[in-house]
Amino acid sequence: MVRWGGVADDFTGATDLAANWVARGLRTSVSLGVPEADQLPRLAAMDAVVVALKTRTAPVADAVGQSLAALDALRGLGCTRFYDKYCSTFDSTPRGNIGPVGDALMAALDADVAVVVPSFPANGRTVYHRQLFVGDRLLGESSMRHHPLTPMTDSDVVRLLTPQTVNRVVSVPLPVVRGGPDALRGALRAAGGEGRAYAVVDAVDDADLACIARATADHVLVTGGSGLALGLPRGDGDASAAMPVEPGFRAVLAGSASAATRRQLAAARGSVAARKLDLAALRADPAGEVARLTRWARERWSAAPDAPVLVHSVDEADGPDDPNNAVGQNGQNGQNGQNGQDAVPPGGRPAAELVEEALAACAVAFAAAGARQFIVAGGETSGSVVQALGVRRLDLGPALAPGVSWAHGAAADGRAYNLALKSGNFGRQDIFTSGWEAIS
């Protein structure tokens, strides 16, 4: 039997891939970080294991080293096929890390060709003529061009990947995909026959993904967003084992500045008690700001124990394309508009780091106050939060939206949590209010 191993460059991406494998009937667990020995027996019983890393914006050598360590662990677990999961909006910089990590995995697995498939039509990501669309906009003209860590200003996947890799990058147009699995298999074989190559494959609907999945059935490595996993044939079994629900207070921690998160914040306004992080206060006295937020959360929970509290880091009311929402390229500054009341002093720490640390500290303090159910928005944010809580494995539960699921995870200190790690641009508008119903 094929056992899949996934290497994901952020934590929301890992649960995104896991949710899609579960939807295809594969029993899937997520290891938060490279699994340690005590986790191996449980993971070895799964049809698929995703190792969640926090390598999207890490230094290139770290990202490569961690990804290879993840690959070794997955091979040790008996995985025979591998999925290099990156963002469906190809979040990266001209240096990486999509290219360098893919290069290292291809070399380690001796793969001649690896497909590049960011498409995830259920979430509006499609690739046509190698251009990546987010809904009806080109990636480079979408709100992703304002991303604080990886602003995406180009849409051509071949052009985005080429400067990041030592391998050739070719594109496979939609008519070849529509020609069926045999035609596509032939095109991929030809691409790999001339030296190691990536093949950026057009895909605009789920049938295209199913064709790519069939044409790559003998590929040891595939790369992409999670959409390609939905192209796999559906197994018979029900892979979503009943997830334990952990009673406790509820919190939303939103460190995502993405357009969908902003819409979700706007939708929660008025019905969920919310506080925005005060960046100036955080810079002056981070522990004091977290203590203030924790006092506030305790007060809210004592008044309404079942109601969630929400801590967020950007203003929800502004439109996604409002330049005031640009929180600072590479998180290095935040001097723009209302979101960035925080001018970074010389030698000061990037606002993005302060935000991640503050939300992680809130998670720990809220957990100490009795919170057990968290919706976390943003991949980097989720990585910080889950690491701070000390959770090392997630078992998937009910789905909330394409690529977003509840999960259950136990921490080393004996506490257990229900966590929904939401990619910045995923999820229904009312997820912060209605997302709890699935675990009520």
Ligand X SMILES: Nc1ncnc2c1ncn2[C@@H]1O[C@H](COP(=O)(O)OP(=O)(O)OP(=O)(O)O)[C@@H](O)[C@H]1O
Ligand Y SMILES: O=C(O)[C@@H](O)C(=O)CO
| Contact positions vs ligand Y (CB under 6 A) | 10, 12-13, 16, 87-89, 225-226, 379, 403, 423-424
Quick one: 279 or 404, whose CB is closer to ligand Y? 404
Based on the shown chain and the rule CB under 6 A, indicate whether residue 403 belongs to the binding site for ligand X.
Answer: no
The least distance separating ligand Y from the CB of residue 405, rounded to whole angstroms, comes to 12
Binds ligand X by CB under 6 A, chosen from 255, 308, 403, 427: 255
**Window 305-324: residues binding ligand X (CB under 6 A):** 313-314
Quick one: 89 or 333, whose CB is closer to ligand Y? 89
CB 117 within 8 A of CB 161: no
Residue 435: contacted member of ligand Y, ligand X, none (CB under 5 to 8 Å, by partner type): none
SS3 labels along the chain: CCCEEEEECCHHHHHHHHHHHHHCCCCEEEEECCCCHHHHHHHHCCCEEEEECCCCCCCHHHHHHHHHHHHHHHHHCCCCEEEEECCCCCCCECCECHHHHHHHHHHHHCCCEEEEECCEHHHCEEEECCEEEECCEEHHHCHHHHCCCCCCCCCEHHHHHHHHCCCEEEEECHHHHHCCHHHHHHHHHHHHCCCCEEEEECECCHHHHHHHHHHCCCCCEEEECCHHHHHCCCCCCCCCCCCCCCCCEEEEEECCCCHHHHHHHHHHCCCCEEEECCHHHHHHCHHHHHHHHHHHHHHHHHHCCCCCEEEECCCCCCCCCCHHHCCCHHHCCECCCHHHCECCCCCCCCHHHHHHHHHHHHHHHHHHCCEEEEEEECHHHHHHHHHHHCECEEEEEEEEECCEEEEEEEECCCCEEEEEEECCCCCCCCHHHHHHHHHC
Residue 16: contacted member of ligand Y, ligand X, none (CB under 5 to 8 Å, by partner type): ligand Y
Based on the shown chain and the rule CB under 6 A, indicate whether residue 424 belongs to the binding site for ligand X.
Answer: yes
Residue 230: contacted member of ligand X, ligand Y, none (CB under 5 to 8 Å, by partner type): none
Quick one: 8 or 200, whose CB is closer to ligand X? 8
Residue 226: contacted member of ligand Y, ligand X, none (CB under 5 to 8 Å, by partner type): ligand Y
The least distance separating ligand X from the CB of residue 13, rounded to whole angstroms, comes to 7
The least distance separating ligand X from the CB of residue 257, rounded to whole angstroms, comes to 5
Quick one: 192 or 435, whose CB is closer to ligand X? 435
Binds ligand X by CB under 6 A, chosen from 20, 39, 131, 381: 381
Quick one: 12 or 28, whose CB is closer to ligand X? 12
State the Cα–Cα distance between residues 301 and 309, nearest whole angstrom: 8
Quick one: 146 or 300, whose CB is closer to ligand Y? 146
Based on the shown chain and the rule CB under 6 A, indicate whether residue 202 belongs to the binding site for ligand X.
Answer: no
Torsion of CA 155, 161, 162, 163, to 10 degrees: 100
The least distance separating ligand X from the CB of residue 384, rounded to whole angstroms, comes to 8
Based on the shown chain and the rule CB under 6 A, indicate whether residue 258 belongs to the binding site for ligand X.
Answer: yes
The least distance separating ligand X from the CB of residue 153, rounded to whole angstroms, comes to 15
Quick one: 22 or 314, whose CB is closer to ligand X? 314
Quick one: 52 or 355, whose CB is closer to ligand X? 355
**Window 147-186: residues binding ligand X (CB under 6 A):** 147-149
Position closest to ligand Y via CB: 13
Binds ligand X by CB under 6 A, chosen from 6, 9, 12, 121: 12
Q: Enumerate binding residues for ligand X (CB under 6 A).
A: 10, 12, 147-149, 255-258, 261, 313-314, 327-328, 331, 334, 339-340, 351-352, 355-356, 378-381, 423-425
